[in-house]
Amino acid sequence: MEKRKELELYVHIPFCVKKCAYCDFLSAPADEEKRQEYVETLVREIEGHREQYREYRVTTIFVGGGTPSILSAAQMECIFASLRENFLIEENAEITIEVNPGTVTVEKADAWKRAGINRISIGLQTVNDEELRMLGRIHTFEQFLETYYLLRKKGFMNLNVDLISAIPGQTQDSWRKTLCTVAELEPEHISAYSLIVEEGTSFYKLYGDDKDRDRDVDTSETTAVSERYRVCGSVKSELKEREYLPLPNEDVERAIYEETEKLLQQYGYNRYEISNYAKKGYACRHNEGYWRRKEYLGIGLGASSLIGKQRYRNLSRYDEYIDAVQNRTDIHEETEYLEKTNEMEEFMFLGLRMMEGVSRTKFYENFEKEIEEVYGEQLMRLAGDGLIRSDEERIELTKRGIDISNYVFEQFLLE
């Protein structure tokens, strides 16, 4: 089994109960008939991959969305039965599902256990109900707690909680309360992202003018893996005039950002990536694979893949995707062949997202060149500006580098 190449799987479920005000992920509400049609199509897509991935062993699976927990117990079991039938999945594979409070039941949790799911990522965002309402979330903090305790009771011992800072009207105090309340529950992993106002969202209509503020924002834990794509068309705004609270200013935002690491450290969480924190031994293996440029196959609407030297993206228009899978025609809407220079760029800016940084040895093994030979000038300049530090083996971001990481990453573009 060890001789086979490693593969990560991402399965996209593009359905949600209702669209959140800040969300630009590829997700939308759908009725039961459509959800069933999609599950059947996913299974057909999975079957179609069988031959090509015969030589691989699957080390991680991530079912993301959208809200995968919107699917019934039977639908999720059907997807996993097909995955197990068509891929060789390692016995100790990390298998994650994203869930949202308000959509989790005892029956579903039992089915996830039976399917072998061993890690659950819960979308909470904030413990403050007013902020949850502002974000357009479907649940309260109380409902999150019910979900959290239900999952613990069912024996899920690897839980992530997703949080968002810089919510309109949020203060440093309210962010601190969110962090402490969640850390006291002792999930194994916490993702803490800063809100970004994306085009096409309800928030963009209210805060669009502020969108260019200097923020080091990236996408959520699953987004890092799946590279979720924007929803086409406009999103119906449900926000009322009186809810137009200001976004926190840059000073508050920076303070929030700095406090997050300190506070979570006190609770025993190690920051292993710009926005991700874990108790010892609980870093998300699936995401680490993404940052280390392991091969991954994305299954489902708009899902992206990295296989060999190619990046693919599945069709992201629902009807086109369904038709292509059903008729066994090409399901990709984009295929990019990566040149050596593209791979070097990715190696640098994905690798630097992790606190351990990038390895000089690995760079040489991959590209048969010393890192200085390619990036000597950039490394010297960034070190001089106090944005990176390095020793004989590793290069990593400094605290200041983390603050403006997008700028640092741009410096590694070669063309």
Determine how β-strand 89-99 pairs with β-strand 119-125. Answer: parallel
Q: Is position 100 an interface residue for ligand SF4 (rule: CB under 6 A)? A: yes
Written as one string, the DSSP assignment of 58-96 is EEEEEEEES-GGGS-HHHHHHHHHHHHHHS-EEEEEEEE
Q: In the stretch 111-130, what mask flags binding to ligand SF4 with x, by CB under 6 A?
A: ------------x-------
The set of residues, in sequence order, having a beta carbon less than 8 Å from that of 402 and lying 6+ positions away, is 216, 274
What is the side-by-side strand order in the sheet with 394-397? Answer: 358-359, 394-397, 388-390
Which one of residues 7, 10, 27, 388 is an interface residue with ligand SF4 (CB under 6 A)?
A: 27
Token pair, residue 118, equals 């061993």
Chain centroid to CA 350 = 13
- Find, among 384, 359, 396, 179, the residue nearest to 267 by Cα: 179
Nearer to ligand SF4, 226 or 305 (CB): 226
Closer CB to ligand SF4, 82 or 222, in the complex: 222
Shortest separation between residue 26's beta carbon and ligand SF4, angstroms: 8
Tell me: does residue 401 bind ligand SF4 (CB under 6 A).
no
Binding-site member from 9, 11, 13, 23 for ligand SF4 (CB under 6 A)? 23
Q: Which stretch binds ligand SF4 (CB under 6 A): 20-28, 34-42, 287-295, 387-395?
A: 20-28
Query: Does position 302 bind ligand SF4 by CB under 6 A?
Result: no
Count other C-beta atoms under 10 Å from residue 29's C-beta. 12
Q: Give 66 or 302: the residue with its C-beta nearer to ligand SF4.
A: 66
Task: Considering only residues 202 through 261, tell me which ones interact with ligand SF4, judged by CB under 6 A.
Answer: none
Does 20 sit near ligand SF4 (CB under 6 A)?
yes
Please return the burial class of 277, using the count of CB atoms within 10 Å of its CB with bins 0-12, 13-18 and 19+. Answer: buried
Q: Is 64 in the site for ligand SF4 (CB under 6 A)?
A: no
Contact footprint for ligand SF4 (CB under 6 A): 16, 19-20, 23, 25, 27, 65-67, 100, 123
